[in-house]
């Protein structure tokens, strides 16, 4: 079984709480979801990146329809959303990331991917692969560093 996991974070440094989340989609549903998403975006005239900071009174109805569309997909078992909520005021990067916020951030991704996806979607005796897609971000570490962190257990 092959799963595609798309992850993103919000409010990493500015606010008290940060959310790390992702959706997991079985490979067999990727083409169908891409087609229906393109159709939805075309019908709603939502061509730029979908971001909650872009919600305006003029686009509120479209974003509400997007939320309904997303949960309809979630309820159809074609994709699933998982997330963790982090209190930025309580996380101790000295202890958790050896003083390095980037390493600590990668370790939070590790927690999300292990507990919300890995343990939930891996079955003993099954050959399961995850293809991971992270949002682009500026980092002093390579993706190989994240790969090393993710492959430790």
CA 28, 34, 38 angle in degrees (round to 5)? 160
The model's pLDDT over 1-44, given as tens digits with 9 standing for 90+, comes to 999 999 988 866 678 898 999 999 999 999 999 999 999 899 98
Which range has the worst mean pLDDT, 48-52, 116-120, 134-138, 149-153?
A: 149-153
In CATH, what number is assigned to the domain containing residue 21?
3.30.420
What pTM was computed for the model? 0.83
**Considering only CA atoms, which of 121, 117, 115, 153 is closest in space to residue 133?**
117
Cα 131 to Cα 72: distance, rounded to the nearest angstrom: 23
The model's pLDDT over 91-142, given as tens digits with 9 standing for 90+, comes to 887 777 777 888 788 888 888 988 888 888 887 788 889 998 888 777 777 7
What is the total count of domains within the chain?
1
Cβ proximity of 10 and 83 under 8 Å: no
């Amino acid at each position: 079984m092959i799963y595609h996991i798309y992850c993103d974070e919000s409010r990493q440094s500015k606010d008290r709480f940060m959310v790390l989340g992702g959706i997991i989609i079985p490979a067999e549903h990727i083409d169908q979801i891409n087609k229906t998403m393109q159709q939805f975006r075309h019908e709603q005239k939502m061509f730029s990146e979908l971001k909650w900071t872009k919600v305006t009174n003029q686009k509120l109805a479209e974003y509400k329809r997007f939320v309904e569309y997303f949960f309809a997909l979630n309820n159809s078992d074609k994709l699933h959303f998982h997330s963790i909520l982090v209190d930025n005021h309580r996380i101790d990067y000295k202890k958790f990331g050896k003083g390095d916020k980037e390493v600590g951030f990668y370790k939070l991704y590790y927690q999300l991917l292990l507990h919300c996806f890995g343990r939930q979607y891996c079955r003993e005796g099954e050959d399961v692969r995850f293809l991971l897609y992270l949002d682009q971000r500026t980092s002093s570490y390579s993706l190989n560093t994240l790969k090393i962190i993710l492959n430790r257990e």
